[in-house]
Homo-oligomer: A and B are copies of this chain.
Amino acid sequence: MHDEVAVKAWRELSRQYAALSCALESALQEQHKLGMSEFEVLDRLVGAQDCTGLRMQELGEQIHLSQSALSRTVARLEKDGLVERQLCTSDRRGVFVHPTDAGRERHAAARPTHRAVINTTLASSQ
């Protein structure tokens, strides 16, 4: 049936996501003391060329995380000195987040791990 094809697709999606997210989580944590969500945030921040950083809202659009989870993830990164929060002057409700030098270094160190894990896990799991 049509339904069963879709269910198989869902299970396959689920399997791949579990394998990859689990591998990423442990590799990043073990080798770079970074959680997967934290790396994702850093990755977007460094990827965005804009030196003023990104607003929380923009981050939220790119990363699939609830607003509260994102807020705490950024708080953890800030506590570790990897990002800084800056009040947005034009709209004082907004918060700009930008990586520190330490954050850029940590990201640069972690990125090869991230890429490698994705490549090998995706290759071996299909």
Contacts and interface: CB of A to CB of B under 8 A. Distances in A.
Interface in A63-122: 64, 114-115, 118-119, 122
Interface in A1-30: 2-3, 6-7, 9-10, 13-21
- Nearest 9 A/B pairs, CB to CB: A18-B64, A17-B17, A3-B115, A6-B118, A10-B118, A6-B119, A13-B17, A13-B16, A6-B122
27 contacts: A2-B119, A3-B115, A3-B118, A3-B119, A6-B115, A6-B118, A6-B119, A6-B122, A7-B114, A7-B115, A7-B118, A9-B118, A9-B122, A10-B20, A10-B118, A10-B122, A13-B13, A13-B16, A13-B17, A13-B20, A14-B17, A14-B21, A14-B64, A15-B64, A17-B17, A18-B64, A19-B64
Query: Interface size bucket, A side?
Result: 20 to 34
Contacts of A7: 114-115, 118
A14 B65 CA distance: 11
A112 to B, nearest CB: 9
A111 B112 CA distance: 42
A45 B9 CA distance: 20
